[in-house]
Every structure is written in C-alpha cells, then in structure tokens.
Amino acid sequence: MPTIASAAPSLSRLSIPAVVLAATVLSGCAGLRPGVAVEVGDQQVSTSRVDEVMDRYCDAIGEAGTQPVARKDIRTQVVGSLAATSAVEAFAAPYDVEAGASYTRAVARLRAQLDDFDAETREAIVAVEGASAYVEALVTGVGHELEPGGDEAAAAEAGRAAFTEWLDKHDVTINPRYGLSLDGDQLQSRDASLSVAARDTEEPAGEAASLPSAQRCG
C-alpha cells in the first residue's frame, strides 16, 4: 500500500495557501448561503464538497496505514486547501494564465504514489496535497505577465506581491462552523462551539490514536 505524502497534516506545508487566508478570514457568515463553506467573490465551495474531500482523504489515510490523525486537523487542511484554490483562481482569472508545467509535474509525482486508490480518492488527495503547488504555479504565472522576460524567482516574487495586494481588496469568507483562525501564517483550529455541533467539538485530549474512531483518520 503506498504512503500518502505527509499524510498527517503539517500545516506548514500549506504556507502558500495560508497566505491566501492571512489577509482576510472573516469569522462571520453574513451573506453566506446555507451549504456554503467558502466564498471568494462569486466563487463558492460547498460544505458537501468539503465533506466529500475530507471523507475520502481520511479514508485514504486509514488505507495507507499511517499514524492516526484527528479529523478536526484533516478538516482544517481540507478547508484551507479548497479556500486557497478558490482564491488563487479568482486572482489569476483576469490574466488568463494556467498552472502550467510545474504543477503538472508536481501532480504527476503525487499521482505516481496513488495507483492503489480509486479515481475519486486520488482526486481528493490531489485537491489537498497539490494545493500549494497549484497556488504557487498560478501566482508565478501571473508574475510572468507582470514582469515579462523575468526568471522564475522574479516572477514568483512579483506574483506574490500582486496576490497580497489583491487579497487586501477581496474577501475570503470561511464558514465559522470550521473553526479556523490564523496564528502568524499558520491555520489553526479555534473554539467553534458556538457554530459547530457538540459532537464535532467535544474531542478528548491526547494523541489522535486515543480518539474515538469517528473523530480520527486512521
């Protein structure tokens, strides 16, 4: 059975998506329609999409036989990845750029580890594990448009600066039921007891392996 690359969520792996959320994570859900998990402009990620990706990713961790991980940590990683993807797509849309070869190579390397999983599970893993590469590729693509003729490093720097400026002017709204906040550039779980059902928040302390099966992956 293949291992999922860094299956246990190390949120530092999502440092690029975290930048997406650093500018504005709105704690309220005023204006969010029922069933919406993330909203960026006129783009929305549904709660059902979050649930689907999270369930498949969680099952894959169990199948791969990796160390158990708390479901709340997987939820944070999934929501952060999907929010990052939506935000960078909205940012890059006016420039008509695509993720390009660097993302294609990154995804190919990831997919090479996933042959034993079904197609839907592979796509869920790519949506989470490939988010950083996707954001980086689109941001760099925009940078090339802004700095024609520059090298990759210059394009990445220009793209990130433009992305940061864009984020200052646009809202990335995350449904508070997911209990996300930021500590520096890291997504962190916060107390969501006012907006999440008790079964989701009353998780006993201790290692993930000690959690009830419904509250852990693996």
Domain ranges of the chain: 13-189
Q: Kindly report, residue by residue over 144-189, the tens digit of the pLDDT.
A: 999 998 899 999 999 999 988 888 888 888 888 887 754 444 455 6
At 58, list the tokens: 């969680």
- Determine the average pLDDT of the residues in 4-20: 38
Residue 69's nearest CA partner among 10, 126, 111, 115 is: 10
38 close to 173: Cβ distance less than 8 angstroms: yes
At 169, list the tokens: 């002017």
Q: Kindly report, residue by residue over 69-113, the tens digit of the pLDDT.
A: 889 888 888 988 898 899 899 999 999 999 989 899 989 988 988
3-state secondary structure 40-96: ECCEEEEHHHHHHHHHHHHHHHHHHCCCCEEHHHHHHHHHHHHHHHHHHHHHHHHHC
121 close to 60: Cβ distance less than 8 angstroms: yes
pTM: 0.79
